């Protein structure tokens, strides 16, 4: 079927600048990965993972700048075995982890107790695995950012919905409302675009209407 239909083969994109998004009307989800929206000036495609990551990153950063990141105590602490590298980072950066909402208590050897986690991550299906991934992300990161910045960035990444996650219409609408409030000039952790726009003028050209 591929060759039978018009299909966009090559596109060039501007790089996201510092502007905010206009109000977007959610149409639905494509490939369980992209949220399709109508804006005042065209079709907007939004990468659900990087959009949520950006929203969480900004929330973490704003919370740190004001009263601190809200944390949620676990009813029963989770026991977690770390790698030596992860353990060294936890021991060095216990204060940074606390400011990020993670209360991690060394328990002997490479074991730790996870006693509290950021409220923003409370719906994560596996908080202990998320913590290990955040530590690994910060360790592998070569951005030159501080440990605390790196931990925040990977906490946002691990807390965000993933490509492949089905979203309800309400969840998509909530995410778009939150994304509209963020500053798009912040690059996502991996430098990928969050939003791609096809303007009305371009759509009309594609369809020979101009």
Would you tell me which residues interact with a copy of itself (CB under 8 A)? 1-19, 22, 25, 27-31, 33-34, 36, 38, 41-43, 45, 47, 50, 163, 184, 190-193, 195-200, 202-204, 206-209
Supply the minimum distance, in Å, between the C-beta of residue 57 and a copy of itself: 17
Tokens of 42: 């065209």
Measure Cα distances from 64 to 21, 30, 87, 94 in Å.
24, 34, 24, 15
Q: How many Å apart are CA 97 and CA 13, to the nearest integer?
A: 37
- Minimum CB separation of residue 2 from a copy of itself in Å reads 7
What gap in Å lies between CA 91 and CA 4, rounded to an integer?
59
Q: How far is the CB of 170 from a copy of itself (least distance, A)?
A: 15
Q: How far is the CB of 150 from a copy of itself (least distance, A)?
A: 20
Distance CA 5, CA 154 (A): 40
In angstroms and rounded to an integer, the radius of gyration of the C-alpha atoms of the chain is 20
Contact 100, 89 (CB under 8 A): no
Nearer to a copy of itself, 88 or 201 (CB): 201
Task: Find, among 23, 6, 3, 63, the residue nearest to 179 by Cα.
Answer: 23
Closest distance of CB 44 from a copy of itself, Å? 8
Which CB sits closer to a copy of itself, 86 or 182? 182
């Amino acid at each position: 079927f591929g060759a039978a239909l018009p299909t966009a083969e090559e596109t060039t994109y501007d790089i996201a600048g510092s502007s905010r998004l206009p109000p977007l009307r959610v149409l639905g989800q494509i490939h369980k990965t992209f949220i399709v929206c109508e804006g005042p000036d065209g079709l907007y495609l939004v990468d659900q993972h990087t959009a949520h990551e950006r929203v969480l990153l900004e929330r973490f950063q704003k919370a740190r700048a004001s009263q601190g990141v809200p944390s949620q105590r676990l009813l029963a602490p989770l026991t977690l075995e770390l790698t030596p590298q992860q353990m060294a980072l936890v021991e060095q950066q216990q204060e940074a982890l606390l400011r990020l909402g993670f209360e991690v208590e060394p328990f002997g050897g490479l074991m730790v107790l996870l006693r509290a986690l950021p409220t923003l991550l409370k719906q994560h299906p596996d908080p202990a695995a998320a913590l290990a991934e955040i530590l690994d992300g910060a360790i592998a990161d070569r951005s030159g950012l501080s440990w605390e910045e790196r931990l925040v960035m990977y906490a946002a990444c691990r807390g965000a919905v993933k490509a492949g996650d089905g979203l309800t219409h309400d969840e998509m609408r909530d995410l778009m409302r939150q994304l509209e409030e963020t500053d798009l000039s912040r690059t996502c952790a991996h430098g990928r675009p969050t939003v791609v726009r096809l303007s009305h003028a371009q759509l009309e050209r594609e369809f020979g209407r101009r």
